[in-house]
């Protein structure tokens, strides 16, 4: 299986699911008349990133890795969202970035060095190793944690919401 086939459709699927999850979160906060900061700043444990940073992180991993593997500059947006709607728009932008790459470009970089920021330093890995052992696990970690924060706060979402549209699976 090509690196593109392994990565981009999966990002598209889960980002689409998280877009739906975000819509449900926005509706939940409005229906309950919560202060949106309640969700934005919520975290599962004191030493973990808050909800806003979890969304910023999974969108950065999806968009950044797709762009880097296509040989493009990963100019990611600032992490400055202060509303749920702005975080939703960040997901929309990540989907656009993922959709902007071609299979030929991603697959051409599977065995080439990919340099990316990791905290204050720059790290270089082989393209396939970068995707499979760094970008993908981080994407799923932060997307799952964002989902878990919402679920923990009563947003009515389930696994099918998280998964989005699964190719070949009938809709519920």
* pTM for this prediction: 0.95
Question: What CA–CA distance (Å, rounded) separates 6 from 88?
Answer: 25
What does the pLDDT read at residue 1? 84
Task: Give the pLDDT score at 168.
Answer: 87
* Beta strands 121-126 and 113-118, pairing class: antiparallel
Is there a contact between 7 and 106 (Cβ–Cβ < 8 Å)?
yes
| Residue-by-residue pLDDT tens, the chain, 172 positions | 899 999 999 999 999 999 999 999 999 999 999 999 999 999 999 999 999 999 999 999 999 999 999 999 999 999 999 999 999 999 999 999 999 999 999 999 999 999 999 889 999 999 999 999 999 999 999 999 999 999 999 999 999 999 999 988 887 6
Residue written as tokens 């999974």? 58
Q: Which domains are assigned to the chain? A: 3-163 (1.20.120.450)
What is the model's pLDDT at position 160? 93
67-95: pLDDT as tens digits: 999 999 999 999 999 999 999 999 999 99
Q: 20 in helix, strand or coil?
A: helix
């Amino acid at each position: 299986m090509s690196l593109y086939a392994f990565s981009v459709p999966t990002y598209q699927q889960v980002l689409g699911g998280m877009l739906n999850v975000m819509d449900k979160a926005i509706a939940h906060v409005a229906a309950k008349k919560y202060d949106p900061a309640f969700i934005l700043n919520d975290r599962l444990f004191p030493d973990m990133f808050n909800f806003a940073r979890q969304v910023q992180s999974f969108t950065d991993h999806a968009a950044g890795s797709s762009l880097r593997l296509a040989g493009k500059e990963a100019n990611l947006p600032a992490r400055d969202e202060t509303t749920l709607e702005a975080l939703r728009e960040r997901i929309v932008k990540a989907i656009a970035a993922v959709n902007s790459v071609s299979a030929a470009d991603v697959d051409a970089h599977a065995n080439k060095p990919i340099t990316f920021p990791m905290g204050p330093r720059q790290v270089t890995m082989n393209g396939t190793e970068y995707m499979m052992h760094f970008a993908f696990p981080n994407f799923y970690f932060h997307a799952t944690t964002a989902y878990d924060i919402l679920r923990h706060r009563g947003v009515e979402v389930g696994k099918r919401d998280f998964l989005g549209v699964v190719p070949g699976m009938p809709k519920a």
